[in-house]
């Protein structure tokens, strides 16, 4: 819990500080007097001011936001001798640059964070495929489990190397959300000649980017050896005489290819509401044994499932993914661009009802993922920061009047018509923007509570 709180506060602090620093740095470069730079709202917990600087730096008590207060005739009287330092007296291009600098700073931070992850390297599961979900697109396309994916491509694009299972998952996510087929280049289990196949993801109706999406595709995880780990005392596995390290070869009439398939076979044993006994063939210390296993029935939200009270499946084979200096930076910029486009597409689809608003996440989900990623290591935490930084940058560029994108919308109108938006219209638009933003925040918070406590 403490790690989650600390990771969340650090994430917010870094992302907000970078965003506001973008506004601050460009404002100073444009000759605007900055009165206050604040990370957080409410009562100041800490404040300081450098000698000779007009800017007061503040850390506020409420961390969900920040602001840069500039000299502005619309907010307070400005002395005639300082009028040239006021924000509202600057030319249109300078005002637009100051406003755009915050979101752009977040996007630049994301590039740097992704690049840092690429340079430092991260251990990820190898792109070995587990057995596909029965009846899924992957199974219908001819995958059986154990294939090594070498490359992937969206639509008719050229193949890109797949270095890890996470690379493959990202390509599948983009293909499903964009309604594009994904071509795979893979090495079969028995054979050295690479083959190709097409996953027709344009057949999937996608409303949420969740676990069910990957079950429809049929690729839910990397291949793992079908062995048993620690057993629960008194559980079905112990009662059947199973032991840690047993490798499962067959369950009933089904040959077991990997740990994921074994888990599915165990879960499926209770679909009728009562667990059906299963005949297992296992290998132990070089000998094959036949055992009868009676799974326990556990009630889940989706219905009754079978459990045996044991850790099923070994850890997946890992590979260290690391890039050189230039390639790592390029990949960081490419990932930032792709995530930005994907975020915009999902928002657009939610707006027209083609995607569920359940995709919106709020501070509770962000805090939860901050803690999880921090517990996994620095590189995972940096990747999480990069993702949230992209989301913050894109969100602030939306044309909502209370956001940076709304102010850029005003400046676009001013550039096209030669006159600024009237005070009356400004007030109406601001009120509408506040309503929309509060609605989005309410939905996100409701989704948070549903995910964490539902």
Catalytic machinery residues: 20
The tokens describing 61, both together, are 């008590």
Do 220 and 130 meet the contact criterion of CB atoms below 8 Å apart? Answer: yes
- The closest alpha carbon to 290, from 258, 244, 250, 260, belongs to 250
Burial class (CB in 10 A: 0-12, 13-18, 19+), 138: buried
Q: Write down the H helix ranges in 219-311.
A: 236-239, 259-268
Kindly state the tokens that stand for 38.
Answer: 């604040």
Secondary structure element (H or E) that encloses residue 317, with its range:
none
| Residue 335 neighbours by CB under 8 Å, 6+ apart | 114, 386
Please report, for residues 62, 205, 265, 383, 399, the alpha-carbon distance to residue 257 in angstroms, rounded to integers and kept in the order given.
52, 29, 11, 32, 51
Task: Give Cα 395 distance to the centre of its chain.
Answer: 15
- Shortest CA distance to 42 belongs to which of 16, 72, 66? 66
């Amino acid at each position: 819990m403490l790690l989650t709180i600390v990771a969340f506060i650090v994430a917010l602090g870094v992302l907000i500080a970078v965003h506001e620093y973008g506004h601050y740095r460009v404002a100073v470069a444009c000759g605007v007097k900055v009165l206050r730079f604040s990370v957080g709202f409410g009562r100041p917990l800490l404040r300081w001011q450098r000698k000779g600087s007009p800017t007061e730096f503040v850390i506020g008590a409420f961390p969900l936001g920040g602001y840069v207060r500039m000299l502005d005739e619309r907010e307070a009287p400005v002395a005639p001798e300082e009028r040239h330092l006021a924000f509202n007296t600057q030319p249109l291009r300078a005002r637009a640059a100051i406003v755009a600098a915050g979101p752009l700073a977040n996007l630049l931070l994301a590039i740097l964070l992704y690049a840092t992850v690429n340079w430092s390297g991260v251990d990820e599961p190898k792109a070995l495929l587990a057995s596909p979900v029965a009846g899924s697109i992957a199974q219908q396309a001819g995958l059986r489990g154990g294939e090594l994916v070498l490359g992937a491509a969206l639509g008719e694009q050229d193949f890109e190397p797949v270095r890890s299972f996470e690379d493959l998952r990202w390509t599948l996510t983009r293909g499903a959300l964009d309604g594009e087929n994904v071509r795979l280049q893979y090495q079969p289990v028995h054979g050295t000649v690479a083959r190709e196949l097409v996953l027709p993801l344009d057949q999937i109706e996608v409303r949420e980017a969740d676990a069910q999406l990957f079950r429809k595709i049929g690729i839910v995880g990397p291949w793992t050896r079908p062995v048993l780990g620690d057993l629960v005392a008194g559980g079905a596995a112990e009662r059947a005489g199973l032991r840690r390290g047993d490798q499962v070869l067959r369950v009933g009439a089904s040959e077991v290819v990997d740990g994921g398939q074994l888990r599915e076979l165990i879960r499926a044993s209770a679909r009728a509401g009562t667990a059906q006994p299963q005949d297992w063939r296992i290998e132990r210390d070089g000998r094959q044994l036949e055992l009868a296993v009676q799974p326990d029935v556990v009630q889940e939200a989706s219905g009754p499932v079978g459990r045996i009270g044991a850790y099923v499946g070994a850890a997946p084979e890992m590979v260290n993914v690391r890039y050189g200096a230039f390639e790592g930076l390029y990949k960081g910029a490419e990932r930032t661009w792709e995530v930005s486009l994907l975020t915009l597409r999902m928002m657009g689809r939610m707006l027209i009802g083609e995607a569920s608003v359940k995709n919106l996440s709020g501070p509770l989900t962000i805090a939860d993922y901050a803690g999880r990623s921090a517990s996994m290591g620095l590189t995972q935490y940096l990747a999480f920061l990069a993702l949230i930084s992209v989301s913050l940058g894109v969100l602030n560029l939306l044309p909502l009047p209370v956001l940076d994108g709304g102010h850029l919308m005003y400046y676009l109108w001013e550039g096209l018509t030669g006159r600024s938006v009237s005070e009356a219209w400004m007030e109406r638009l601001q009120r509408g923007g506040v309503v929309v933003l509060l609605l989005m925040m309410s939905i996100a918070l409701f989704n948070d509570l549903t995910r964490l406590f539902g």
